[in-house]
């Protein structure tokens, strides 16, 4: 009986791991949009980045009661911008998924928590990378509040910290090479929209 149970558990573990591996090997699709953020199709994420096609994305900014922003340092094995500091999390919406739903999902996947999010502004940016890929995104900014430490996913995030927006802005001007391109663009053009000090 025990040998049969052991065999069952071993088989279950094998197939579970295989299914998870197979799932992670399936490349996620992004939503292609026009300049009005209207969906015009779907495409594998890597292909969209190789062709620099405009697609929908979101960037989450989580603040604490001191109005400090939670930053994350991207994992070392990321295919672009590894080890660079950026906003709390960011990614791409899935087909049929709202901006807020996508933001909450990715917060859980990357930072290990969920909080309420509000939509702020949106904008289009284009940022080429050294590896030949290009981020060309219609980016939606989502803002939330949280007080505790995150439970970071080491597959996605190397480190994290709280920083005031003024401290981020100052450090970014001194050491821009430490920050992601999209994060620098947001700070340069839309700083007043993510600064919730007076809200």
In Å, what is the CA distance from 90 to each residue of 11, 71, 86, 108, 132? 36, 11, 9, 12, 20
3-state class (DSSP) for residue 60 = strand
Q: Catalytic: 97?
A: no
Other CB atoms within a 10 A radius of the CB of residue 123 amount to 16
Q: Which of 89, 90, 156, 181 is flagged as catalytic?
A: 90
Q: Which of 89, 110, 135, 137 is flagged as catalytic?
A: 137
3-state class (DSSP) for residue 186 = helix
Q: Catalytic: 90?
A: yes
Catalytic residue numbers read 90, 137
């Amino acid at each position: 009986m025990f040998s049969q149970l052991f065999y069952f558990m071993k088989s279950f573990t094998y197939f579970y791991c295989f299914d998870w591996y197979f799932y992670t090997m399936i490349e996620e699709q992004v939503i292609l949009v026009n300049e009005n953020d209207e969906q015009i199709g779907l495409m594998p994420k890597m292909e969209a980045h190789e062709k620099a096609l405009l697609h929908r994305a979101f960037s989450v900014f989580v603040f604490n009661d001191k109005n400090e922003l939670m930053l994350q340092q991207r994992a070392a094995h990321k295919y672009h911008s590894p080890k660079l500091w950026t906003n709390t999390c960011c990614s791409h919406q899935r087909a049929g998924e709202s901006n807020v739903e996508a933001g909450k999902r990715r917060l859980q996947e990357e930072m290990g928590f969920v909080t309420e999010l509000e939509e702020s502004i949106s904008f289009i940016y284009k940022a080429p990378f050294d590896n030949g890929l290009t981020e060309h995104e219609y980016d939606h900014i989502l803002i939330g509040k949280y007080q505790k430490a995150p439970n970071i996913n080491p597959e996605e995030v190397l480190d994290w910290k709280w920083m005031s927006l003024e401290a981020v802005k100052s450090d970014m001007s001194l050491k821009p090479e430490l920050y992601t391109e999209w994060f620098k663009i947001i700070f340069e053009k839309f700083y007043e929209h993510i600064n919730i000090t007076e809200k």
